[in-house]
Amino acid sequence: MSLRLENVSKQFGGLRAVSNVTFCAEPGRITGLIGPNGAGKTTLVNLITGILSLTEGSIGFGGEDLTTMSPTDVARRGVVRTFQNVRLLLDESVVANVALGFYRHGRSSLLADIVGLPSARAEIRKVHEQAHGLLHRFGLEPYADTLVRNLSYGHQRRVEMARALAAKPSLLLLDEPVAGMNDVEANELGTIFSSLAASGIAVLLVEHNMRLVSSICEDLVVLDTGRMIASGKPDAVLSDPAVVQAYLGA
């Protein structure tokens, strides 16, 4: 399922944070969304996920119109995100945070859960097994029972990504997922993102790490002061004079 943005705009009072942005993010590919600080990248992610409402334009995903949907309804269509500033349940354990990602896939009824029917217990067991599988994938297994607030920033980022994968996304929006990580860690995560895209998920990657972006993204979209100034293949986009000027100045 592909994500389509058409003439998306967002106005905050007198500030036009996003202006007439149009692009597609296709399944099985990583689309990079780049731009200087304040370009409107995170605002765009907030618009896609329904946290902010659009001023103009439309957003579609898999043939459905997300434009006026609530964040919950957007999430239930398989659109999952991570946050620029890590947002986790700090008073819960690592495994509980990841298990929360499976929330919308739960099938057992409230009554079955409360009574503790075998089917409900089996579902809980399955969720925990899958959560531990994701923790292993992200190298977090030793921290499974640790309170998230006691983890380092880098590990908290990984927990957030594991939680996003637990939600079994059709579209994954990653907002600066390798910020603060070294090259080795960034490459490890880049490999994971590529494998996710290869499995058929559409990935929209907001990132400042140009080495990572140019190595794993099939398409790039560049924003500057809310406007889309370039889009296309990474090599062509990164050598575009408008993009160079936006990053380096006149």
Would you tell me which residues interact with another protein (CB under 8 A)? 49, 51, 70-72, 74-76, 80-81, 83, 87-93, 96, 99-101, 103-104, 106, 108, 110, 113-116, 120, 124, 137-140, 142-143, 145-147, 149-150, 152, 154-155, 158, 163, 167, 184-185, 188-189, 191-192
Contact 221, 45 (CB under 8 A): no
Question: How many angstroms separate the Cα of 127 from the Cα of each of 90, 109, 167, 171, 211?
Answer: 20, 15, 11, 21, 35
For the bound state, the minimum distance from the C-beta of residue 47 to another protein, rounded and expressed in Å, comes to: 13
Q: Please, what is the minimum distance in Å from the beta carbon of residue 216 to another protein? A: 14
Based on CB atoms, which residue is closest to another protein, 6 or 92? 92
Q: Min. distance of Cβ 118 from another protein in angstroms?
A: 13
Measured CA to CA in angstroms, residue 61 lies from 28, 64, 74, 94 at distances of 14, 5, 9, 31
The CA–CA distances, whole Å, from 192 to 44, 164, 189, 198 equal 24, 13, 5, 10
Q: How far is the CB of 185 from another protein (least distance, A)?
A: 7
**Residue with Cβ nearer another protein (24 or 124):** 124
Using the minimum distance from each CB to another protein, give the nearer residue, 16 or 168.
168
Q: Report in angstroms how near the CB of residue 220 gets to another protein at its nearest.
A: 24
Comparing CA positions, the residue from 13, 24, 17 lying closest to residue 58 is: 24
Question: Helices 183-198 & 153-166, crossing angle to 10 degrees?
Answer: 0
Strand 56-61 to strand 79-81: parallel, antiparallel, or no bridges (unpaired)? unpaired
Which residue, 12 or 103, is less far from another protein as judged by CB?
103
**Residue nearer to another protein on the CB measure, 54 or 99:** 99
Length of the chain, in residues: 250
Rounded-to-integer distance, Cα 246 and Cα 171, Å: 28
Cβ proximity to another protein, 39 vs 69, nearer residue: 69
**Residue 164 DSSP label:** H
Q: How far is the CB of 57 from another protein (least distance, A)?
A: 21
